[in-house]
Structure 1
Amino acid sequence: MQNPGNFKNILCVRADNMGDVIMSYPAIRALKETFDCKITLLTSKSGNIIGDHLPAIDEVLTFDLPWVKSTSKNSGKDLSDLAEKLKTYHFDAAIIFTVYSQSALPAAMLMMMADIPERLAYSRENPYGLLTDWIPDLEPYDYILHQVERDLNLVKSLGASLSEDSLSLKLNDNIIPELRVKLSSLGIDPQKPFLILHPGVSEEKRKYPTHLWIETGKLLREKYPFNLLITGSESEAALAESIQNEIGLKAFSLAGKLTIGEFIGLISISKAVISVNTSTIHIAAAMKKPQVVLYACTNPQHTPWKSPHKVLPFSVDKNLKSSNTIIKFVSEKLYNDFIPYPAPLEITSSLKELLDHV
């Protein structure tokens, strides 16, 4: 690879969801800080949701790449058109971020078609001409790193580093006052402390049962003087409202009622977050908020990074487990023993332990 110090126009590829983009952001910041370069992010529609809150990224390009799960139906011509569009940016290099169960080679082929001269990624097999530089992917067979550390190690191979590697998100200056007004309009006292409950999942295998959310909410209502704000996307509104209705007093559904900026702001002023393993826990980690994570035994790389938390794991139904052989290897190595759903009392006890140390 040529001298990375000459890279002034870098494309970062993080093709997955919002939480994945947040976890890759320290590595992206390292590139920005080390090389003082323009950073463009190529990500999915889901990943793009968080783009405005990542100031080290100068521009975001959105495309649902077909080798990553999505509902988009892009054609071969769409990919060719994307390659032609990428050519017009005259990138110096492309950095492809992946989890260990993914191959970087489809993205590497796209970068080659776009005439990007330097292309870096992890690869389990020899990529030959597809990548100009690569790191043999030893995960998960030799060891498993947190996703943040994995991505940082990739850019360290270029000499990129940063002094503080916590997750970070930018909040607009006026978002908190505006959010408090919105909460008031929804009948929620904006001055009263609150907990966030986030039950919605993007994958069925990560779901924590609704009746246990309700039982947990009732225990929290009895134990704490806090409001319980149940969050989620618009598609999760029915779930949030059903949980709210069953908990009753002090519970409020905000699913589908907040922008992403407002959601980040809400987390930043909360007492703590209780959530399944989804992007919410990475936002909470960026805001340094205590969190109890109901963590389906899928990918051990994606726990909260450098923030106060308690992970409560549970087993995935065998009918919902991935057929990806790498994920199956990890499951058989780490998750052979059955772990039941965390009991509501265990959740409330874990929350008390965290709040006692804040």
Structure 2
Amino acid sequence: MNTSKRILIVRTDRIGDVILTLPLASILKKYFPDSKISFLVREYTKPLVSNNKFIDEAFCLIEKNGKPAISENIKMLKNKFDICIVAFPTLEIATILFFSSIKIRIGSGYRWYSFLFNRKVYEHRKYGERHELEFNVNLLNHLGINEAPQKSKVDFGIQIKQQTKEIVENKLIEFKVDLSKKIIIIHPGSGGSAIDLPKEKMIQLIKNISSIDNLVFLITGNKNEVELCKLMVVNKNTINIAGLFNVEELIALISKAEMVIANSTGPIHIAAAMNKKIIGFYPKYAAVSPKRWGPYTDNAVVFQPNICDGNCNRKKCEAINCMNSIDIEKVTETFKNILHSEIN
């Protein structure tokens, strides 16, 4: 069988979404070792794929005014691929791929524009019946690949440049971070992708744990979350570094951490991909539940509201402030137990 194929994986949304699509590259290389694997992403997620050990080439979606530039992207991709696998379909993306002369186009069969794909997958993701990573892997069925991912064996292929490691270390030294201590990263925001643990609860958690010896707590976030992160600084062991690291540097920073504490957001998936200890906070409703969007690792403990049965939606959960029902004392105890098991 000819295993030499030119394959394009397409995921043009956010950091966590791209992370949960990365394992397709390692699986494809397993079955088609002579294939050339490329990835189409947005500019800001390019660091996730540009230095990946299973990805041969990264393409950045050309955008104008926040929308894909159809003709420019067709010109960039035309006649370069035999197969494309679309994990996040949109009309614009489907149109670009259709006119790029790609013979096999795998994508959802449930969109009105699904006629632009010629290998259709009939799975509704919005009900959260399985994990997003597993939905993505199922797209490979049309290539005769039937994999059952296991959390302990998934390879995300992320690599970090030595230069980036040095940049991150220098920034930490500049902020007087004691690198002899274990780093705990706390990421209190999520960019609106889910409902967060209330900031008051996160502050309470930080107060409970930040006085533990030999730990330093780094508060991370994007430039729009600087003010939120300032609220998390409760003592000299908590340092706000929000907005100071780009995606490539954030990956290197997380690689240095002992644990990541976060809501449902990109950094929690980076941490999972790097096999870090994780404490996460997730709502229960299906569209954003950990069953679909949780960190794909055996090293995570996820806390959810105890006043919600999951048969609801975002509007209802926000109305009753369900995330406020998470017991921070239990989270604190879990954090200490994880640390204790690590020490012993």
TM-score class, shorter: 0.7 to 0.9
> Over residues 62-105 of structure 1, what are the superposed CA-to-partner deviations in whole Å (9 max), with x where a residue is unaligned?
22779xxxxx4437xx2133223321x4211111113xxxx566
Q: For residue 251 of structure 1, what is the aligned residue in structure 2?
A: 238
- The answer for the alignment partner of 1:283 in structure 2 is 270
Q: Are 1:107 and 2:93 an aligned pair?
A: yes
Deviation at 1:205, TM superposition (A): 4.6
Instruction: Give 1:147's aligned residue.
Output: 132
Q: Which residue of 1 aligns with 2:43?
A: 45
Equivalent in 296, 305, 308 of residue 305 of structure 1: 296
Does structure 2 retain, via aligned residues, the 8 Å contact 1:123–1:134? Answer: yes
User: How much does 1:178 deviate?
Assistant: 4.8
Identity of aligned residues (%): 24
Equivalent residues, number? 329
Unaligned runs of 5+ in 1: 67-71, 318-327
Aligned match of 2:67: 74
Alpha carbons of structure 1 residues 104 and 178: separation in structure 2 relative to 1, 3 Å: closer
In the alignment, is residue 339 of structure 1 matched against residue 288 of structure 2?
Answer: no
Q: 1:59 aligns with which of 57, 65, 90?
A: 57
**Over residues 210-247 of structure 1, what are the superposed CA-to-partner deviations in whole Å (9 max), with x where a residue is unaligned?**
22222211111234541111112233223222321xx0
Q: CA deviation at 1:280?
A: 0.6
Instruction: Give secondary structure in 1 for the equivalent of 2:160.
Output: coil
1:315-347 deviation line (CA, Å, top 9, x unaligned): 999xxxxxxxxxx98749xx8997342233232
Q: Tell me what 2:339 maps to.
A: 355
Are the aligned partners of 1:34 and 1:161 in contact in 2 as well (CA < 8 Å)? no
Structure-2 change in CA distance of 1:147 and 1:357 (3 Å): farther
The TM-score normalised by the length of structure 2 is 0.82
Task: Give 1:308 deviation, angstroms.
Answer: 0.7
1:19 correspondence with 2:19: no
Check whether the contact 2:52–2:158 (CA below 8 A) recurs between aligned residues: yes
Per-residue Cα deviation, 1:288-334 (whole angstroms, up to 9, x for no partner): 111111113442311011231111124999xxxxxxxxxx98749xx
The CA deviation at 1:6 is 5.3
Does the C-alpha gap of structure 1 residues 225 and 303 become closer, same or farther in structure 2, counting only changes over 3 Å?
same
Aligned mates of 2:193, 2:93 — CA distance in 1: 27
Counterpart Cα distance in 1 of 2:322 and 2:83: 44
The residue aligned with 1:120 is 106
Which residue of 2 is the match for residue 230 of structure 1? 219
Aligned twin of 2:28:
31
Q: 1 CA distance for matches of 2:219 and 2:159?
A: 23
Q: TM-score, normalised by structure 1?
A: 0.80
Compute the displacement of 1:203 (Å).
0.8
Question: Which secondary structure state, in structure 2, belongs to the residue aligned with residue 190 of structure 1?
Answer: coil
- State which of 223, 233, 254 in structure 2 corresponds to 1:267: 254
Change (3 A) 1:314 1:15: farther
Amino acid at match of 1:216: L
**1:251 deviation in Å?**
0.9
